[in-house]
Amino acid sequence: MTGATGGIGEAVARRLAADGFRVCAAGRRVDRLERLAGEVGGVAVPFDVTDENDVARARASVEAAGLDVLVNAAGVFDLASVVQTGGEVLRRNLDVNLVGAFNVTRAFLPGMVAAGSGLLINVGSVAGWRAFPENSAYSASKFGLRGFHEVLLEELRGTGVTACLLEPGAVDTPIWDPLDPDAAPHLPNRERMLCPEDVARAAGFVAGLPDGVAVPLLRIERA
């Protein structure tokens, strides 16, 4: 699973490990990955989701073990108005959030389809179906991810592999740190956000469904 060094990914990794899965934890920060892998009895597989060669190397080391659940949770989040969003920021959001998920899925999905079983979890966002000011680059990536996911659902019919798009609202993770949301009146306060464990519980629910049962989309929000 990607994003395992981040707030949501780490919580999902811990939940899936507690549910009996052996976790292959992916991200770029090797020290954090190794610590997590050691704590949950998994394995650290560092790679950059935007680098196809890196992803291919990771696949070679993971695929031998087979893959029951693939989680695309790597992501970045930048806020700026449309006119203040430079090309570099737009490309960064698209590269990690959309192209990264594409790269990882293309690398690992064929093995799952060949095995005739497995689950792909894509971590989308409320910003993948709703518009918020200053979200153009991020939203473009998450709307794109939803389109990618919906095409995958069609292509996976009859293969035995299922896919779920998790679409959480705001979650209290380090992704918000550079924005200091509690000091910004137009952003949600951290105490009103979901916890990473809320998203992890949803991922655990989907991963625990019996064969033949699919949840293609799951939105998670604060009541």
Ligand X SMILES: NC(=O)c1ccc[n+]([C@@H]2O[C@H](COP(=O)([O-])OP(=O)(O)OC[C@H]3O[C@@H](n4cnc5c(N)ncnc54)[C@H](OP(=O)(O)O)[C@@H]3O)[C@@H](O)[C@H]2O)c1
Interface residue list for ligand X (CB under 6 A)? 2-9, 27-29, 48-50, 73-77, 96-97, 123, 125, 168, 170-171, 173-175
Least distance (Å) from ligand X to the CB of residue 210?
Answer: 26
Least distance (Å) from ligand X to the CB of residue 29?
Answer: 4
Is 138 known to be catalytic? yes
For ligand X, the closer of residues 51 and 115 by Cβ is 51
For ligand X, the closer of residues 156 and 165 by Cβ is 165
Least distance (Å) from ligand X to the CB of residue 64?
Answer: 21
CA distances from 220 to 13, 195, 196 (A): 18, 11, 11
For ligand X, the closer of residues 9 and 42 by Cβ is 9
Least distance (Å) from ligand X to the CB of residue 66?
Answer: 22
For ligand X, the closer of residues 18 and 192 by Cβ is 192
Angle between helices 196-207 and 7-18 in degrees, nearest 10:
40
138, 143, 148, 176: the catalytic one is 138
Q: Count CA atoms within 13 Å of residue 222 on its CB side.
A: 13
Q: Which residues are catalytic?
A: 138
